[in-house]
Chain A
Amino acid sequence: MAASTTARRTGAAPAATTAPGDAGRSLRRLWRAVTHNLVLFWSALTLLYLFLPVFVVVAFSFNDNRGRFNFTWQGFSLKSWLDPCGAPGICPAMVRSVQIAALATIAATALGTLIAFALVRHRFTGRTPTNFLIFLPMATPEVVMGSSLLALFLNLGVQRGFGTILIGHILFNVSFVVVTVKARLQSMDARLEEAAMDLYANEWATFRRVTLPLVTPGIIAAALLAFALSFDDFIITNFNSGNTITFPMFVWGAAQRGIPPQVNVMGTAVFVIAVAGMVIARLVRGRR
């Protein structure tokens, strides 16, 4: 991009044929080359910054750790990988997190998709307040959302646990699902649905054969986002978990008592599974 515009730029400017002009131009070219690479260099550093902790997490999952804290490198070992449930309570916490994330994803995706359809496909009084109600939870810090739910549960005398965590997770995911599905619906060509209707598909057949298949990628993306957000949520869970321990709660607790390397094993495993899943999804979509 820069190279081609440079040519045009100098072509458009009055021709400078004298030596100082040439020197100025090559200086400018040098400057441009530097700035050009500066941006790339800066970006590479940023990526490195993003990945630095990941390297550490992966490396310390292989640490031959002795003692309570897995903070200093003591040598390579596979022992934690061979015994991932070795830290008491870690595997039940993991299972609980997956359960909550799965349930929260299903519920939030269903609720959010319905709202997205209502907002994009229908004109009705109350759209603006609805949009605001969707936006608010995303603009609310998690501490506030978590503590307000806690206030409600305290006032009602509700026992906190699995159910209250689930309620909170569905709550903060709904807005994200609405926004994701809404974007997909809005980018869909309305003429495709008209074409279906024109081709003898009634409302239900149009929805089933055209709208739904075309919106599905958006719904899947929303569901994946919801799962990831729920699985990793700490702050809202922290306020409403009672004695129930999810994986992030386990890590939080372990951070005070001593972190077993199995935490890193789980972190690495989740990371690898998620990245592999995304790569496979992209390859499959690329082939189709």
Chain B
Amino acid sequence: MNVAGDGIRVIDEPSPGDRLHLVDLTKRFGDVVAVDHLDLVVEPGSFVAFLGPSGCGKTTTLRMIGGLEQPTSGRVWLGDTDITDLKPYRRPVNTVFQNYALFPHLDIDANVAFGLRRTGVKGAELRRRVDEMLELVQLPGYGRRRVPELSGGQQQRVALARALVNHPKMLLLDEPLGALDLKLRRQMQIELKRIQTDVRITFVHVTHDQEEAMTMADTIAVMNSGRIEQLGGPVELYERPATEFVANFLGQSNLLKGTVTGTDGDRRTVSVGDRRIVVPADRVPAGGDGVLVGVRPEKITIEHAGGPDRGDGGAVAGGNVLEGTLVDVSFTGVSTQYLVALPWNAEVMVFAQNLQVDERLQPGAPVRLLWAPEHTFALCPGTAAAPRDDAAAPDPPVAVTPGRIADVVRDG
């Protein structure tokens, strides 16, 4: 994309009046609750991703924002306007559909011009804006072509152009990259992010691909069973998952059952098996003493238990240590994955970069696992599927703002 800054100045600065506010939004299909009392604030100009497995309610939420689905209860506000009962064509919001939904009977020009024509834009103005937009998505001169003549990636760009050309206050993207192959998808992720930074429109993106969400969004709402499990920036979600579901859905986590046994300044000790693990106090949830202690596989250093210290005693001193038996070793190219069985009925996964490989690390070998307390987090067990009490007071809305990692106030 070489047109950064060109042709996109037409789009207004985000104004605070374009804040999206979902209030206690619920959608039921028969007995199935697709979206369950959802509250969310999206600040203008931010890039939010709804991330979750299929059936978690993310697409339904998006469709309710776009007006394609009517909520069972709750309201949708855009700035000071309640748009809940507005028809889709009355909302200043456009959608990039899954599989694009380009009109097969119209050429590319007519597809892009469709929304403008409906809003009364004509003649030279129409021409200019369509051309400008085709240029922005790197398809200049493609206007006369028909939809089937374009590749998947090109169709994706047309769908984007068709939505953006209307200067919506918000762009909704429903798994927009799902139909592309991996390489193209990566490329489009970067482009989408760039376009969003340029046009400064709020993007609400739905995906089940955690990497896609982390690459593009400033804020990710991890959804499960119709509710937002956790909301935050990619780094925050990864480093400090709030629930078991989030810990497992974003990357891999080792989660070990333990009990909080004591406090040492700004640290807590948790006994796991016959060992003590140190966790920063602000990463331990308030409440019961039974917790799950988590650590990401790539944060752990693995070494042979019989051998001499490898010299990074710094990590060991005051760090967390576990001992176990190596069960499985698999080489994946960028890293080697070790599966370690702990003396009690638990296993730990370790990803190690292939810098120096200790030949003794073969299945059956006794090993020592070391990691820093800062890389440790603790969760309340079973927070993923806790049924919600409908009678309870509605949760305060969680706020999404661009460039800032939002505070997580859910369940607070």
> Does residue A281 face the partner (Cβ distance < 8 Å to B)?
no
Q: Which residues, 55 to 94 on A, are CB-close (under 8 Å) to B?
A: none
Q: Is A121 an interface residue when CB atoms closer than 8 A count as contact?
A: no
A201 to B115, CA, bound (A): 7
Complex Cα spacing A201 to B67, Å = 13
A195-B102, A197-B89 are known; give 15 further A-B pairs, CB within 8 A: A189-B99, A191-B97, A191-B99, A192-B104, A196-B114, A197-B68, A198-B67, A198-B95, A199-B94, A199-B118, A199-B162, A202-B118, A210-B103, A214-B103, A214-B105
B129 to nearest A CB, angstroms? 14
Closest to A213 in B: B105
A209 within 8 A of B: yes
Q: B94 to chain A: which residues have CB within 8 Å?
A: 198-199
Number of interface residues of B (CB under 8 A): 25
- Chain A residues whose C-beta falls within 8 Å of the C-beta of B66 in the assembled complex: 198
Is the C-beta of B88 less than 8 angstroms from some C-beta in chain A? yes
Identify the interface centre among A195, A196, A213: most chain B CB within 10 Å of its CB: A195
Q: Within 8 Å of chain B (Cβ to Cβ): is A205?
A: yes
Chain A residues positioned under 8 Å from B104 (CB to CB): 192, 214
CB B408 to nearest CB in A, in angstroms, measures 32
Interface residues of A in 158-204 (CB under 8 A from B): 189, 191-192, 194-202
Please judge, given known A-B contacts A194-B68, A194-B88, A205-B118, whether A199 and B166 are in contact too, CB under 8 Å: yes
Q: Considering only CB atoms, which chain A residue lies closest to B68 in the complex?
A: A194
**Interchain CB contact under 8 A, A195 and B101:** yes
18 pairs from A and B in contact (CB 8 Å cutoff):
A189-B101, A194-B95, A194-B97, A195-B95, A195-B102, A195-B103, A196-B114, A197-B67, A198-B67, A198-B88, A198-B97, A199-B118, A199-B163, A200-B115, A200-B166, A201-B89, A201-B118, A205-B118
The answer to whether A201 touches B114, judged by C-beta atoms less than 8 angstroms apart, is yes
B residues within 8 A CB of A199? 89, 94, 114-115, 118, 162-163, 166
- Asked whether any CB of chain A lies closer than 8 Å to the CB of B87, the reply is yes
Interface residues of A (CB under 8 A from B): 189, 191-192, 194-202, 205, 209-210, 213-214, 288
Which residue of the partner chain A has the closest CB to B119?
A: A200
Min CB gap A121→B, angstroms: 15
How many contacts between A and B, using CB within 8 angstroms?
A: 66
B contact residues around A189 at 8 Å (CB): 99, 101
CA distance A200 to B163 in the complex (A): 11
In-complex Cβ contact of B89 among A200, A213, A288 (8 A):
A200
Q: How far is the CA of A210 from the CA of B98 in the complex (A)?
A: 18
C-alpha gap A191/B63 in the complex (Å): 11
Residues of A within 8 A of B163 (CB): 198-199
* CB-CB contacts below 8 Å: B80-108 with A: 87-89, 93-95, 97-99, 101-105
Q: Which 9 A-B pairs have the closest CB atoms?
A: A199-B115, A200-B118, A191-B101, A195-B101, A197-B88, A213-B105, A200-B89, A198-B95, A201-B118
On whether A192 and B103 interact (CB within 8 A), knowing A198-B68, A198-B94, A201-B118, the answer reads yes
Closest to B91 in A: A198
Q: Smallest Cβ distance from B148 to chain A, in angstroms?
A: 11
Cα–Cα distance between A189 and B100 once the two chains are bound (Å): 11
How far does the Cβ of B93 sit from chain A's closest Cβ, in whole Å? 8
